């Protein structure tokens, strides 16, 4: 179509639009004591007008100056408290047009703090769960840009607030003070990814500081008493020590940067008393604008309190200069320093790989420390004796992509001081996991003995349903809550105990008119022998022998070996939920959908795995189409391909380097890799290391080979690294300029994913029409 603009938003067929605009089931949160549920009512998609509110793009953040908060749309609109034992429910009275967020339980489950956003401020409420009465404890003044309200051990609240008397919002002069200048002094590399929404000028700096500066306040749960701690700064985190005597306060300092987001700005970490007196400065990290690709800062990082000790700080220090390319047997050290935080820190563990987190353990000073090897993709778990003399002991290691051998993750509980720790009874942890098997997910609940490293299975999902543990209510794991779904149950919650199970909720089918859709996990092989998986959906009206148009929807992933690439990562017993701008809506129009069709890119060397990206995705796509023909529902001709983000990148390559598909849909993709010169996705090499790879992996460079029709859709406000809206604009121009058939849809105010009601409906209308024209009625050409 030659027209540059068409009038207004479009809508898909009425049956599709009706489903899209229905409100989803409530979200559910289990109380710390396991005796109550908080049901959070949610609304359907907001209007685009909500997305169109003024937005300040500052240092990698998107902010709403009117509310002094993150720029966001309304989702949660109502609350209900439900007793687990009796099933009794109590609706919570709330303001009209409530816009709720940041829900946090008190450790005893008696209260929940949450925020309510008005048009020009954020208020704070405390819900008494016994009476279901919600009381406003702060009218405006909340500054939750970096951290929401949190409960202290004594039942009071720690809140970051807007400083009193901060002055008027900075106004940008129409007359510039001068040019915006950046410098590179030479001598060091600064290989930064293509971040968006960065600071651009002194006004941006002033506005960023004005909006993010906060004053920490301790207030009573009823809001009647308030006490400031410290002075106003750009606090990114304020956390109390478990004994309540100290506060670890972290804040940003100048100089700010126009090249990296706020998370790379200079950061000071210091310990204060609860009364706001400085005890010790722990770290002063400089601007981190020159890190290597996938690198980390040197010096003290990830500073945090040990969750079960009185006042013990822990942090990690790189031993490789922060550069993952350095070969070393000791990449990170885990250290600790107790109050009064003077003297030398003690090394708790010397890590072979990059530290990736730690979990405290109930009733113990021990930690489970995690580390990750980016070359082998291995996750290592080490038990660290923090205050004793036992040497660190490895308790687990596996390939992070090996779903079949995932032992599960520790279930968490609250310590008596309100910190989150792994549950442990008699030296045994409780673990839950998805339980991937060749037949599909079978979630489980297990005990893991830290002394013997032996595992005991307490429960495993069985039967024609998909059920996973949400929370454990009894210390020994004998009573627990699960989420439950089946082909006919859309997702509800069940209580297990005493060998029986009963439903706690009864959320209805959100789209009963789609009952009968056929869902199946399928496997097939690529020509090189790699096993592939997908989830096949067939319309309710399908009869064996029918030949249907087929949609192949995919997202490529890198794997170190073929065995993990071919693993099954879904369940045949899930409910078929259709919503948003899902490709499953094609089922309503008579298509078969091969969703999550595996497009693995397999290579033992992560440095060079992308060198065969094109060949591998083409081979996987051919295997998928061959499967549809062998199974009898596809004709091998009427096949379209689509994907979002990296899936859109894949779609461009498949249309440029094969003739397998009749048309493609590419949403929010990146197509010219020279515009992301310091790496993309899992690619580590920079453009100047291997320009031929970046050139070859750019669909833009092969735009003249795209002869099948391609639909580009992109949010005009995309904030994702690398997927600038310009990527789709330039790719469309390239296809059009070289004689191809293409259509470009730019969605106003939309981000990388689409949220506005009109945008979602329009996206579905475009997708359905595109494939109806170019796929559903396609015929085989000569020679096919």
Q: How far apart (Å, rounded) are the C-alpha atoms in residues 596 and 556?
A: 9
Contacting residues for 462 by C-beta, under 8 A, at least 6 apart:
442
- Comparing CA positions, the residue from 135, 117, 103 lying closest to residue 221 is 135
- The three state secondary structure string of 260-290 is CCHHHCCEEEEEEECCCCEEEEEEEECCCCC
What distance in Å separates the CA atoms of residue 113 and residue 134, rounded to the nearest whole number? 9
665 closest CA partner among 767, 565, 572:
767
Q: How many CA atoms lie within 13 A of 224 on its CB side?
A: 1
CB atoms within 10 A of CB 175: 5
Residue 355 CB-density burial (10 A; 0-12 exposed, 13-18 middle, 19+ buried): buried
Query: Phi, psi (5° rounding) for residue 772?
Result: -60, -40
Q: What's the sign of the alpha-carbon dihedral 464, 401, 408, 404?
A: positive
The single-letter DSSP state of residue 759 is H
Q: What's the chain's length in residues?
A: 784
Is-contact 112 100, C-beta < 8 A? Answer: no
* Dihedral, CA of residue 230, residue 232, residue 238 and residue 240, to nearest 10: 20
Beta strands in 319-377 (DSSP E): 332-338, 346-351, 354-360, 367-373
Q: How far is Cα 708 from Cα 727, in angstroms, rounded to an integer? A: 19
**Nearest CA to 98 among 121, 76, 71, 124?**
76
Residues annotated as catalytic are 645, 718, 752
Inter-residue contact 626 to 641 (CB < 8 Å): no
The Cα-based distances of 162 to 74, 124, 138, 141, 747 in angstroms read 22, 13, 12, 5, 34
Q: How far is CA 714 from CA 325, 710, 772, in A?
A: 35, 13, 21
Structure tokens at 770: 């595109």
Q: Which two tokens stand for residue 472?
A: 């454990």
Nearest CA-CA partner of 673 in 628, 614, 630 = 614
Give CA–CA dist 423/414, Å, rounded.
8
Give the dihedral sign, CA 134/138/140/145: negative
Q: Are 134 and 123 in contact (CB under 8 A)?
A: no
């Amino acid at each position: 179509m030659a027209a540059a603009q068409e009038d207004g938003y479009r809508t898909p067929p009425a049956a599709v639009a009706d489903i899209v605009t229905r409100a989803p089931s409530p979200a559910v949160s289990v109380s710390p004591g396991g005796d109550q549920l908080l049901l959070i009512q949610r609304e359907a998609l907001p209007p685009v007008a909500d997305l169109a509110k003024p937005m300040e793009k500052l240092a990698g953040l998107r902010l709403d100056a009117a509310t002094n908060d993150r720029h966001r749309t309304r989702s949660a609109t109502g609350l209900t408290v439900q007793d687990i034992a009796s099933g009794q429910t109590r609706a919570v009275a709330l303001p009209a047009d409530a816009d709720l967020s940041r829900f946090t339980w008190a450790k005893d489950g008696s209260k929940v703090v949450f925020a309510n956003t008005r048009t020009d401020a954020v208020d704070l409420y405390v819900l008494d769960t016994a009476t279901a009465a919600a009381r406003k404890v702060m009218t405006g003044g909340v500054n939750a840009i970096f951290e929401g309200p949190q409960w202290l051990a004594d039942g009071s609240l720690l809140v970051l607030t807007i400083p009193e008397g901060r002055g008027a919002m900075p106004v940008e002069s129409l007359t510039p003070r001068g040019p915006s200048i950046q410098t590179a002094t030479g001598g060091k590399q600064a290989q930064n990814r293509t971040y968006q929404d960065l600071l651009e000028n002194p006004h941006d700096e002033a506005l960023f500081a004005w909006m993010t500066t906060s004053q920490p306040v301790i207030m009573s749960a009823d809001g009647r008493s308030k006490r400031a701690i410290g002075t106003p700064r750009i606090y990114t985190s304020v956390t109390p020590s478990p004994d309540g005597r100290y506060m670890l306060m972290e804040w940003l300092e100048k100089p700010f940067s126009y090249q990296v987001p706020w998370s790379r700005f200079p950061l000071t970490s210091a310990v204060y008393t609860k009364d706001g007196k400085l005890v010790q400065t722990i770290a002063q990290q400089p601007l981190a604008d020159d890190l290597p690709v996938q690198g980390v800062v040197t010096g003290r990082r990830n500073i945090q309190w040990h969750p079960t000790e009185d006042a013990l700080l822990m942090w990690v220090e790189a031993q490789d200069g922060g550069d993952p390319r350095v070969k070393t047997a000791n990449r990170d050290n885990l250290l600790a320093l107790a109050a009064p935080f003077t003297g030398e820190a003690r090394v708790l563990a010397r890590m072979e790989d990059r530290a990736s987190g730690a979990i405290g353990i109930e009733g113990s000073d021990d930690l489970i420390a995690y580390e990750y090897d980016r070359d082998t993709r291995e996750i290592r778990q080490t038990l660290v004796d923090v205050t004793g003399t036992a040497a660190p002991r490895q308790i687990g290691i596996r390939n992070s992509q090996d779903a079949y051998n995932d032992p599960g993750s520790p279930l968490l509980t609250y310590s008596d001081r309100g910190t989150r720790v792994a549950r442990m009874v008699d030296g045994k942890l409780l673990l839950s996991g998805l339980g991937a098997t060749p037949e599909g997910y079978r979630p489980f609940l297990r005990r893991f003995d830290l002394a013997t490293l032996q595992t005991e299975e307490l429960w495993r999902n069985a039967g024609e349903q998909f059920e996973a543990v949400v929370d454990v209510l009894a210390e020994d794991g004998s009573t627990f809550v699960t989420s439950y779904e089946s082909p006919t149950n859309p997702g509800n919650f069940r209580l297990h105990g005493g060998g029986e199970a009963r439903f706690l909720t009864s959320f209805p089918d959100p789209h009963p008119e789609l009952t009968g859709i056929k869902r199946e996990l399928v496997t097939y092989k690529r020509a090189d022998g790699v096993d592939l998986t997908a989830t096949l959906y067939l319309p309710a009206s399908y009869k064996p022998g029918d030949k249907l148009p087929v949609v192949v929807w995919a997202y490529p992933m890198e794997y170190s070996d073929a065995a993990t690439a071919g693993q099954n990562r879904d369940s045949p017993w899930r409910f078929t939920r259709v919503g948003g701008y899902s490709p499953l809506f094609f089922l309503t129009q008579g298509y078969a959908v091969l969703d999550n069709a595996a497009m693995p890119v397999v290579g033992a060397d992560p440095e060079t795995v992308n060198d065969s990206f094109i060949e591998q995705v083409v081979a996987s796509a051919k295997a998928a189409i061959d499967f549809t023909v062998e199974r009898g529902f596809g004709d091998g001709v009427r096949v379209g391909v689509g994907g979002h983000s990296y899936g859109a990148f894949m779609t461009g390559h498949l249309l440029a380097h094969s003739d397998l598909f009749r048309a493609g849909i590419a949403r929010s993709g990146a197509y010219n890799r020279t515009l992301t010169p310091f790496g993309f996705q899992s690619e580590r090499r920079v453009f100047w290391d291997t320009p031929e790879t970046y050139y070859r992996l750019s669909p833009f460079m092969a735009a003249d080979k795209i002869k099948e029709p391609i639909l580009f859709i992109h949010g005009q406000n995309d904030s994702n690294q690398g997927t600038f809206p310009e990527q789709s604009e330039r790719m469309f121009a390239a296809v059009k300029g070289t004689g191809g058939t293409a259509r470009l849809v730019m969605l106003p105010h939309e981000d990388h994913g689409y949220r506005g009601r009109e945008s979602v409906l329009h996206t579905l209308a475009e997708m359905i029409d595109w494939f109806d024209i170019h796929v559903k009625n396609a015929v085989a050409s000569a020679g096919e």
